[in-house]
Structure 1
Amino acid sequence: MDKFQKVKEVITSIEADVTKFYDGNNGAAGTRVRKAMQDLKNLAQEIRAEVTEKKNSAK
């Protein structure tokens, strides 16, 4: 559950950069968004592994 909370925090933290990139053509903000998306991808993969492990151990 902690990792899911972290996902929500990362999304909240990059909202301003997403706006800066898409509405203001700010390249540096785009770089920060890309990094945050990579972090989200890694967190999502970790969550998937935990869910699979928990699901399989319940059997």
Structure 2
Amino acid sequence: YNQIEVSPGDQFKIAFTIPWGTFSYSRMPFGLTNAGATFQWVMEFTFKGMMGK
């Protein structure tokens, strides 16, 4: 599993906000292939019970 460290100056680019706060990754959560689509899918899957409330 490749874990690529994200530069502290770039962490805001992969941050996400939920009712409990704003969070960002310090390492890439997955590989670089289809990163944007994969990230969106993971976030929707993870927070599907909280979305729309």
Instruction: Output the TM-score relative to the length of structure 2.
Output: 0.30
The structure number with the bigger radius of gyration is 1
Structure with a larger share of its residues in strand? 2
Structure with a larger share of its residues in helix? 1
